[in-house]
Structure formats: structure tokens, C-alpha cells
Amino acid sequence: MIELKSYRDLTVWQKSMDLVVICYQLTSQFPKTEIYGLSNQIQRAAVSIPANIAEGKGRNHLGDYIRHLSMANGSLKELETHLMIVGRLGYLNLSSG
């Protein structure tokens, strides 16, 4: 069993940090009219995922940790919805090739 010394050791936190970078890269391609709209909403939702994981891990009670994981999951669902809207608006060409 792997000993976790820090929230930074959590794979879910590491992957969510990668997701933040991807979201910032994606939103940099949006129309400038979206700076205070979808771009901001996507960035905030993405950032809150690893932030809540880290905050929860730093709490002294399991219940607090679980509550923060639930908030991170909620932010993930919010982010997913924003990205679906982006797809419907055609802001990004996500086709491969």
C-alpha cells in the first residue's frame, strides 16, 4: 500500500491539475467576447477541482474530506456542462486529424 504524505501524492489531484492547464489552453482559443463569460466560468470550475481536493485532504476529519471531494465532483460536473456548451457553440474544433 502506498503511503500518502500529501494531497500532492493523490493521482486524482495530479490529474485535476493537468485538467486545469488544459482548460486554460482551451479557453485561450475562445472568442475575446467570452473572456468574462464561458472562459472565466470554465477556468474557475477547473481550478476549484484540485483546490477542493487539497483543502479536504488538509482537514482533520474524514467527513470534511468527503464533503470537499463532493464539492470537487460538483465542480467537475459544472466543468463538463460548460465544455458541452462550448461544443454546441462550435468554439473549438475538437476533431482529430
Range of the domain at 60: 13-25+34-85
CB 56 within 8 A of CB 68: yes
50 within a domain of the structure (yes/no): yes
95 within a domain of the structure (yes/no): no
What is the pLDDT, as a whole number, of residue 32? 92
What is the pLDDT, as a whole number, of residue 97? 43
Looking at the structure of the chain, the number of domains it has is 1
Instruction: Check pLDDT > 70 for residue 96.
Output: no
96 within a domain of the structure (yes/no): no
In which band, very low, low, confident or very high, does the pLDDT at 60 lie, cut at 50, 70 and 90? confident
74 within a domain of the structure (yes/no): yes
| pTM strictly above 0.85 | yes
Residue 45, domain CATH: 1.20.1440.60
8 within a domain of the structure (yes/no): no
Instruction: Tell me the average pLDDT across 24-45.
Output: 95
Burial of 55 (0-12, 13-18, 19+ CB in 10 A): middle
39 within a domain of the structure (yes/no): yes
Q: The C-alpha cell of 28 is what? A: 485561450
45 within a domain of the structure (yes/no): yes
d(CA 26, CA 38): 11
CB 68 within 8 A of CB 55: yes
